Amino acid sequence: MIKNIISGIKAYFGAFSLISKLKLWKFFAIPMLISFITAVLIGVSAYGLSDNIGFYISKLWIWNWGKETFTSIGNIIGGLFIILIGLILFKHIIMALSAPFMSPVSEKIEKHLVGNIHTHRKTTFTEQLWRGIRINIRNLSLELLLTIPILLLGFIPIIGIISTVLLFLVQAYYAGFGNMDYTLERHFKYNESIQFVKKNRGLAIGNGIIFMLFLLIPVIGVILVLPLSVTAASVKTIEALQLKPQLSNAV
């Protein structure tokens, strides 16, 4: 799996040039706008709700001494909590709403890499949007179920460091999952795509690692994360499909 993780990361190195070569930037205009607006809304929410969450956290401190300091710490924790949940929601929102715009991008990349392709499944704009929503609601639910116990582990000394890494890898996996599905939706049905990603989870994690790191870059990262991550994921997913032709003919 380590080899696949590294392979998923390396795919980003040629993503920018491939987008330019195939003149794909126009397809990313609306998804980039969706990314920017979603990020602004999450940022505003984090700023506005951090004090409210901090207020409830401060109630845990029943003593008068140190109350002000603990309240300030509570506000910071509240803001970080909102940002964490915001990051989780952000990637699933933009990937779900961008599905109809990303599928054509993935198809053009596939045609460039393998020539004339046989599309196993013909889907409409509405079907692509619905599949994107369905996949991301499923992934969001599972991610939250995993995130809660991992966050609780974070309060245990020493193990807390491990929980941070686990939390990052979980988020990376589901980010890469969503990016890979833009290609898989042409080849597999819903459940078959899930099984394919599970068998290639290293590629998903590798793609998602860079996706999550991009979100740490103010403004530019939020705008460019989808074009580069989708392009990188498409290249590696297509390669994986070529190595497993029996799977791509199973639909």
pLDDT digits (tens, 9 = 90+) for 176-210: 999 999 999 988 888 999 999 999 999 999 999 99
Angstrom distance (rounded) from CA 77 to CA 79: 5
Whole-prediction pTM:
0.84
pLDDT above 50 (res 249): no
Residue 248 one-letter amino acid = S
The dihedral sign for the CA sequence 236, 242, 243, 249: positive
Average pLDDT, the chain: 84
What does the angle CA 182 – CA 188 – CA 189 come to, to the nearest 5 degrees?
100
The phi and psi torsions of 215 (rounded to 5 degrees) equal: -65, -15
Angstrom distance (rounded) from CA 87 to CA 128: 23
pLDDT tens for 104-144 read 899 999 999 987 665 556 677 788 888 989 999 999 999 98
Residue 139 one-letter amino acid = N
Angstrom distance (rounded) from CA 234 to CA 228: 10
DSSP assigned state of 64 = S
pLDDT above 70 (res 34): yes
Q: What is the mean pLDDT of residues 52-75?
A: 69
pLDDT above 90 (res 64): no
Q: What is the mean pLDDT of residues 202-229?
A: 92
